[in-house]
Amino acid sequence: MLTGKKILLIISGGIAAYKSLALIRLLKKSGADVRCILTNGGSQFVTPLSVAALSEEHVFTDLWSLKDESEMGHIRLSREADLILIAPASANLMAQMAHGLAEDLASTTLLASNRPIMICPAMNPMMWAHKATQDNLQTLIKRDVTIIGPADGDMACGEFGTGRMSEPEDILSAVKNYFESNKPLAGKHAIVTSGPTFEPLDPVRFIGNRSSGKQGHAIATALIDMGASVTYITGPTALPAPLGAKTVHVETAKEMLSVTQDALPADICVCAAAVSDWRSDAIATQKLKKTKSEDSLTLTLVKNPDILHTLSTHKNRPTLVIGFAAETQNLDDNAKAKLSSKQCDWIIGNNVGENNVFGSDQNKITLFKRDNQKEFEIADKTTIARDIADEIIHYFKIQK
Ligand code: C5P
Q: What is the pLDDT of residues 267-285, one digit of tens each?
A: 999 999 999 999 999 999 9
- Reply yes or no on whether the pLDDT at 60 is more than 90: yes
Active-site option among 157, 269, 271, 344: 157
Averaged pLDDT for residues 251-260: 98
Beta strands in 91-154 (DSSP E): 117-121, 146-147, 151-154
DSSP state of 42: G
Averaged pLDDT for residues 303-309: 98
Closest CA to 395 of 387, 242, 232: 387
Active site residue 120: no
- Reply yes or no on whether the pLDDT at 75 is more than 90: no
Topology of 189-399 in CATH? Rossmann fold (3.40.50)
Antiparallel, parallel or unpaired: β 117-121 and 146-147: parallel
Whether 6-181 shares its CATH topology with 189-399 is answered: yes
Closest CA to 219 of 331, 377, 383: 383
Whether residue 233 has its Cβ less than 6 Å from ligand 1? no
Encoded amino acid at 4, one letter: G
pLDDT tens figures, 209-219: 989 999 999 99
pLDDT tens figures, 147-191: 999 998 887 778 888 899 999 999 999 999 999 888 999 999 999
**Cα 165 to Cα 123: distance, rounded to the nearest angstrom:** 8
Whether residue 307 has its Cβ less than 6 Å from ligand 1? yes
DSSP state of 146: E
Output the CA 337–ligand 1 centroid distance in Å.
13
Give CATH superfamily name and number for 6-181. Flavin prenyltransferase-like (3.40.50.1950)
- Please state the domain extents for the chain: 6-181, 189-399
**Cα 154 to Cα 160: distance, rounded to the nearest angstrom:** 4
Mean pLDDT of the chain: 93
Whether residue 273 has its Cβ less than 6 Å from ligand 1? yes
Closest CA to 272 of 192, 354, 366: 192
SS3 18: helix
211 contacts 235 by C-beta, under 8 angstroms: yes
Whether residue 195 has its Cβ less than 6 Å from ligand 1? no
**Alpha-carbon Rg for the chain in angstroms:** 29
